[in-house]
Structure 1
Amino acid sequence: MKKRIIILGTTLAIVSVLCFGFTKWKSNAVTDSNLSNNKDLALESKEIHGPNLKAIPDLYYGVDTRFTAVQKSDVQNATSIYAFLNASEKDQIQHIKSVNLVVIKNNQQSELQAFGTTDLLTDGQMKLLRSMDYFNHFTIKTEFRGKNMETGIIEDKFFGPHITVVPETQATYADGKEALLQYLKENSLTDMNVIKDDKINAIKISFIISKQGDVTEVKHDAMSTGYTSIDEKFMELIKNIPGKWTPAVNDKGEKMEQEFVFTFGPRDRC
């Protein structure tokens, strides 16, 4: 009888230990699983919202010439304003009222201007265009009667495309434009957490790609985001862009400097 009691007691003790161990293992397994899931969620949230899980507004990142790029040879050979308009703009024009070609200096319209009244450029306008050098800027302010593409109604309209004169071969980033923008986005993500109430201004930072393919003359070009830390971060990132650049080349095959502008801010204002 005593042997049976001892055997039964021993059996119960072993079962209890096994049950306790299994329960503890199961509990730990669930806890580890939850930690793993939480880690995944945190990483996902960080990618979308930043390390403090704070929502970031829809932002635009761009690196390009200051205005729409047109090769110097095309600028100097132009005889009509249509050389500077896209297909959609061309389709809208019914009757041209005035065309004013204006040279832009220091981001301002200068007194160097030439006026016309048709799509054909005047001698004065063509002379002004032929005087343009690489990386000069101008606008063609055109007033016309044209079709509203939504309503079909003919109305007074205006075009004012801004043009940057570029060489036949522009400078290029070795890893590609998408890689450059990704570098700027990823390395500024944590700095976006200072944005309050989705309020942030657009900023432009200009820089030069030298004849040697180096980033030089980084300048805070216009305005501020409203957050000094973000402004300074982008200045730092642009000064330290990794990788190589291939410099611009003119029509004589000579390497030359080229200006680019980094634009950042709310997508609806850039």
Structure 2
Amino acid sequence: MKKNILVLCASILILGLMAFGFVNRSTSESNKINIPDNLNLASNQGPSQNMDFRYFADYIYDVGTRFGPIKKEDLNKVTSFADFMEDDDAKKIVTYKFVEVIVIENDKESNIRESGNSGELTSAQLKLLRTSDYSISLKIIADVTQKNYKTGELEESYWTPHLTIVPEKQAVYLKGKDVLMEFLRENSKESWVNVVEDKLQPAKLYFTVTKNGTIENVALDSSSNFPEVDQRMIELIKQTPGKWQPAENSKGEKVDQELVLSFGLMGC
């Protein structure tokens, strides 16, 4: 009798161990993550086409004027270098060594310039300013001696305002600037796939909003160092949906205005 009991217990123990092993194996298999055989976990083919592009969207900065805007009408009222400055800064200046007005062409100082040795602009400088048309960019250099109000001492200094002449009423994208920037970001995603941040450069794209509200004269001024990105931005400016409201002069007449799209790295 005792022998039969021992055999029965042993049999029950064996069956229990087999059942536990089966349940444990089934549980482990049910917790496994199924990885498709064709999934490449260490791809060397670059970023996925479905990657999140919010990071690269930060590389489309602005649509506006090349430098700080100054209205043609306001430029015609200027008579001295101090008119280009804030009052507190102008009051620091004790003497002027020279003041030069320079026209900027293709992002470089041109030979179109007029010099003087006073804070009051010369007749030649005034003529240059007042005959410069819309979208012309200017650099005004002043070599001065100014007073440091903290120390009370005189010190040498340079002031170099950079300005772009704009119409009294600038061109406007009717759907709004935020909509325009979103359109550029969303539709340029694929062109940023192979961008390497360390090789990215500050880029600028010029275009003209004509007095008819059309986009013309689209041209790359400086490259991002990634031709695919440059070309896509050119295409998007040309294909921007919606309408532009043309710029107007002081008489209410519609005029052309050049604008700049800045992308790539932040630059001057």
* TM-score with structure 2 setting the length: 0.72
The residue that corresponds to 1:10 in the other structure is none
Tell me, in whole angstroms, the C-alpha distance in 1 between the residues paired with 2:230 and 2:147: 42
Shift of residue 146 of structure 1? 3.9
User: Which structure 1 residue ranges, 5 or more long, are not aligned?
Assistant: 1-26, 32-45
Bigger CA radius of gyration: 2
Shift of residue 89 of structure 1? 4.8
The residue that corresponds to 1:157 in the other structure is 157
The residue that corresponds to 1:240 in the other structure is 239
Pairing 1:189–2:214 present: no
Shift of residue 247 of structure 1? 0.3
Shift of residue 86 of structure 1? 4.2
The residue that corresponds to 1:138 in the other structure is 138
The residue that corresponds to 1:8 in the other structure is none
State whether residues 203 and 265 of structure 2, in contact with CA within 8 Å, keep that contact through their aligned partners in structure 1.
no
Shift of residue 149 of structure 1? 9.4
The residue that corresponds to 2:73 in the other structure is 73
User: Which structure 2 residue ranges, 5 or more long, are not aligned?
Assistant: 1-29, 34-46
Tell me, in whole angstroms, the C-alpha distance in 2 between the residues paired with 1:166 and 1:55: 33
Pairing 1:170–2:174 present: no
State whether residues 56 and 193 of structure 1, in contact with CA within 8 Å, keep that contact through their aligned partners in structure 2.
no
Shift of residue 109 of structure 1? 2.2
Residues 89-145 of structure 1 deviation map (CA, whole Å, 9 limit, x = unaligned)? 546545432211112334332323221223221222112222222222221111123
Question: Aligned pair in 2 of structure 1 residues 234, 88: CA closer, same or farther (>3 Å)?
Answer: farther
Residues 169-228 of structure 1 deviation map (CA, whole Å, 9 limit, x = unaligned)? 111111222222222222223432312253301111111111221112211122x21111
SS in 2 for 1:140: strand
Shift of residue 53 of structure 1? 5.2
The residue that corresponds to 1:229 in the other structure is 228
SS in 2 for 1:194: coil
Question: Aligned pair in 2 of structure 1 residues 186, 151: CA closer, same or farther (>3 Å)?
Answer: farther
The residue that corresponds to 1:253 in the other structure is 252
State whether residues 50 and 189 of structure 1, in contact with CA within 8 Å, keep that contact through their aligned partners in structure 2.
no
Question: Aligned pair in 2 of structure 1 residues 228, 115: CA closer, same or farther (>3 Å)?
Answer: same
Identity score, percent:
37
Shift of residue 61 of structure 1? 1.2
Question: Aligned pair in 2 of structure 1 residues 259, 54: CA closer, same or farther (>3 Å)?
Answer: closer
Tell me, in whole angstroms, the C-alpha distance in 2 between the residues paired with 1:193 and 1:126: 50
Residues 66-99 of structure 1 deviation map (CA, whole Å, 9 limit, x = unaligned)? 2221111111221111222346754654543221
The residue that corresponds to 2:201 in the other structure is 201
Tell me, in whole angstroms, the C-alpha distance in 2 between the residues paired with 1:91 and 1:172: 36
SS in 1 for 2:179: helix
Tell me, in whole angstroms, the C-alpha distance in 1 between the residues paired with 2:53 and 2:172: 35
Count the aligned residue pairs.
225
The residue that corresponds to 1:102 in the other structure is 102
Tell me, in whole angstroms, the C-alpha distance in 1 between the residues paired with 2:206 and 2:84: 24
Which letter maps to 1:192? Answer: W
The residue that corresponds to 2:9 in the other structure is none
Root-mean-square deviation over aligned CA pairs: 3.2
More helix by proportion, 1 or 2? 1
State whether residues 93 and 147 of structure 1, in contact with CA within 8 Å, keep that contact through their aligned partners in structure 2.
yes
Tell me, in whole angstroms, the C-alpha distance in 2 between the residues paired with 1:60 and 1:88: 35
State whether residues 207 and 258 of structure 2, in contact with CA within 8 Å, keep that contact through their aligned partners in structure 1.
yes
SS in 1 for 2:193: helix
State whether residues 106 and 221 of structure 2, in contact with CA within 8 Å, keep that contact through their aligned partners in structure 1.
no
Tell me, in whole angstroms, the C-alpha distance in 2 between the residues paired with 1:59 and 1:152: 44
State whether residues 169 and 249 of structure 1, in contact with CA within 8 Å, keep that contact through their aligned partners in structure 2.
yes
State whether residues 51 and 190 of structure 1, in contact with CA within 8 Å, keep that contact through their aligned partners in structure 2.
no
